[in-house]
Amino acid sequence: MFRRGGFDGVIGNWPYLGGQKLTGVLGNTYREYLIHALANGVRGSADLIAYFALRAAELVRHDGTIGLVATNTLAQGDTRQVGLNQLAANGITIYDAIKSMPWPSRSSALECCVVWATRAKVRSQRGMTSTLDPPPRVCGSPERLAANKGIAFQGSNILGLGFTLHPDEAQDLILRDPHNKEVLFSYLNGQDLNSHPQFAPSRWVINFHNWPEERARQYQECYEQVVRLVKPERARNKDKSRREIWWRFTRPTLELYETIAPLSRVVVMTLVSKTVMPVMVPTGQVFSHMLGVFADDDPAMLAALSSSVHYWWAKSRGSSMKTDLRYTPSDVFETFPLPPLTEELRQTGDELDTYRRNVMSTRQIGLTKTYNLVFDPHCTASDIEELRRLHRAIDEATVRAYGWTERIDAVGGLDHGFHPVGRETRYTIGPAAQRELLDSLLELNHERYADEVSQGLHVKSHRKDKRRVGEQEELDLGIDEPHE
């Protein structure tokens, strides 16, 4: 009902359109209108729902109510910062919410959320945060830590399946001309990492690094394949630079390979998955854009990133793709206050790496199927029970490394078991431990950031802080491969 000054309430199930598709579908002019007319100039790769939420807030009167049915990305990443964060900053109280639930259709993998908000004062409830969680003990958002810079990278977006070839073809090229070894590399992607028992790449790739075309032409057979299979595809690309440097990957991530060059192995993780589980793999190969690469060969780092502590931080700070978690290194890892990499973490990380490889090799299954068993309460096989024990040991070692044993004991311990995560079940720590650890991590993030600021490690720009959302790293998912 409309009254002078606005509507009593606005209820809606708005159109769904992802942030990366807005300009292509609706045009740049309309997106600029959304940014300036509704989002106060705040930029970011926000889904369309964020702007509908902002418009609903404009329409509702001073004591009115808003009811939204939306994709669960409304409370995630840039969409949250453009939409719900601004509502909260402008006097809108989210007084109840369903953070994530299956869309009511048996055939749909879509996850949605439901939000109830108002401009009126809410006295009887504590309200919800813009992440659609109950208010934590600690307020505010995490900051990116200087200590975590230059460790986590997204792999290379090659943009062109014509760069790839079968391992036998690559070996034939090297046999015919040993110099081809300088541009031929095994190519590890997310599907290989999740499905192969030894994390073995199924393809190789032609990599001309950041070389000029004249140098690439010296590797005749490899160059001719790229001319034949990549150049015509790139010629149709709307991006001028992609058309003009067609013989090179569109995002070669040179800094990644320079950083890991001294290492014989690194920690990697599929960026979109249900498992969110890192593994150790050799360097000397090209890593796909579907992989997060952590420039560290320490099993203690593997343990820290395999812990439930890290998983629930990723769950709270990442976004989602259907029912999978979407891990953005800048938003998740760079804000994650790492524990001290203790000898206990090192030992448990090494045990996990060795034992898990044996399980996968014996069963001849990949990472996804292995963790489907770990998370299945009906699976009581001895090898899977041992994997669960190793993860419990890692979680306990991580809590000890932080020095948080007493505060976890105060909420009933870690409470390992089979706990719901959306529509899935996961073997992990219990809800009370999750909340306590997330609060503790946010406190520690703020403490470390303040210490870094005092050391002059964060130089603030004189521009308005509205830039922050627009500068966030957008996970480049590309189109060259499935994620699992």
Q: How much is the pLDDT for 476?
A: 59
Q: How much is the pLDDT for 470?
A: 31
Q: Are residues 114 and 221 in the same domain?
A: no
For the chain, what is the radius of gyration of the CA atoms?
A: 24
Tell whether 134 is covered by a domain.
Answer: no
Q: Are residues 96 and 158 in the same domain?
A: no
Q: How much is the pLDDT for 25?
A: 83
Tell whether 433 is covered by a domain.
Answer: yes
Span between the terminal Cα atoms of the chain, in Å: 48
**443 φψ region: left (φ > 0), alpha (ψ -120 to 50), beta (else):** alpha
Tell whether 483 is covered by a domain.
Answer: no
Q: Are residues 240 and 336 in the same domain?
A: no
Tell whether 139 is covered by a domain.
Answer: no
Distance from the Cα of residue 423 to its chain's centroid = 19
Q: Which of 142, 424, 435 is nearest to 276 (CA)?
A: 424
Q: Are residues 158 and 102 in the same domain?
A: no
Q: Are residues 172 and 216 in the same domain?
A: yes
Map tokens 């890290």 to a residue. Answer: 310
Q: Are residues 356 and 467 in the same domain?
A: yes
pTM: 0.75
Q: Are residues 189 and 323 in the same domain?
A: no
Q: Are residues 251 and 382 in the same domain?
A: no
Count structural domains, the chain.
3
Q: Are residues 182 and 260 in the same domain?
A: yes
Tell whether 127 is covered by a domain.
Answer: no
Tell whether 347 is covered by a domain.
Answer: yes
- Domain CATH number, residue 93: 3.40.50.150
Q: Which residues are 288's β-sheet partners?
A: 156
Q: Are residues 245 and 306 in the same domain?
A: no
What b/e sequence results for 51-69 when a residue is b if at least 16 CB atoms lie within 10 Å of its CB, and e otherwise? bbbbbbbeebbeebbbbbb
Its domain, for residue 354, covers 144-151+298-477
Tell whether 125 is covered by a domain.
Answer: no
Tell whether 361 is covered by a domain.
Answer: yes
Q: Are residues 187 and 317 in the same domain?
A: no
Task: Give, for all 484 residues of the chain, the pLDDT tens digit.
Answer: 444 455 666 776 767 788 778 888 888 888 888 888 888 888 878 888 888 888 888 887 777 888 888 888 888 778 888 888 888 877 788 888 887 778 776 556 677 888 888 888 766 555 677 767 666 677 788 999 999 999 999 999 999 999 999 999 999 999 999 999 999 999 999 999 999 999 999 999 999 999 999 999 999 999 999 999 999 999 999 999 999 999 999 999 999 999 999 999 999 999 999 999 999 999 999 999 999 999 999 999 999 999 999 999 999 998 877 778 999 999 999 999 999 999 999 999 999 999 999 999 999 999 999 999 999 999 999 999 999 999 999 999 999 999 999 999 999 999 999 998 877 899 999 999 999 999 999 999 999 999 999 999 998 654 444 333 333 344 555 544 443 3
Q: How much is the pLDDT for 126?
A: 58
How many whole angstroms separate alpha carbon 249 and alpha carbon 234?
Answer: 11
Q: Are residues 288 and 320 in the same domain?
A: no
